[in-house]
Chain A
Amino acid sequence: DGGITQSPKYLFRKEGQNVTLSCEQNLNHDAMYWYRQDPGQGLRLIYYSQIVNDFQKGDIAEGYSVSREKKESFPLTVTSAQKNPTAFYLCASTRQAPPNQPQHFGDGTRLSIL
Chain B
Amino acid sequence: KNEVEQSPQNLTAQEGEFITINCSYSVGISALHWLQQHPGGGIVSLFMLSSGKKKHGRLIATINIQEKHSSLHITASHPRDSAVYICAAHFGNEKLTFGTGTRLTIIP
Contact = CB atoms under 8 A, between A and B. Distances in A.
Partners in one complex: yes
Interface of A: 33, 40-45, 48, 58, 88, 90, 92, 99-108, 110
Interface residues on B, range: 20 to 34
Nearest to B43: A105
Given A100-B31, A100-B90, A102-B33, A107 B100 contact: no
10 closest Cβ pairs, A-B complex: A42-B98, A105-B43, A107-B42, A100-B31, A108-B41, A102-B45, A43-B98, A100-B90, A102-B48, A42-B100
Nearest to B4: A42
B41 A110 contact: yes
A88 B41 CA distance: 8
Contacts of B48: 100-102
B45 A103 contact: yes
A99 B29 CA distance: 13
Nearest to A105: B43
Contact of A90 (B33, B43, B50): B43
27 contacts: A33-B95, A41-B100, A42-B4, A42-B88, A42-B97, A42-B99, A43-B86, A43-B88, A43-B96, A43-B98, A44-B98, A45-B96, A48-B95, A88-B41, A90-B43, A99-B30, A100-B31, A100-B48, A100-B90, A103-B33, A103-B96, A104-B45, A105-B35, A105-B45, A107-B41, A108-B40, A110-B41
B30 A105 contact: no
Chain A interface, DSSP helix/strand/loop, else mixed? loop
Chain B interface, DSSP helix/strand/loop, else mixed? strand
Contacts of B35: 105
A103 B98 CA distance: 12
A22 B95 CA distance: 22
Given A44-B98, A106-B42, A108-B43, 15 more contacts: A42-B86, A42-B101, A45-B96, A48-B95, A58-B95, A88-B41, A99-B93, A100-B31, A103-B45, A103-B96, A104-B45, A105-B45, A107-B40, A107-B41, A108-B40
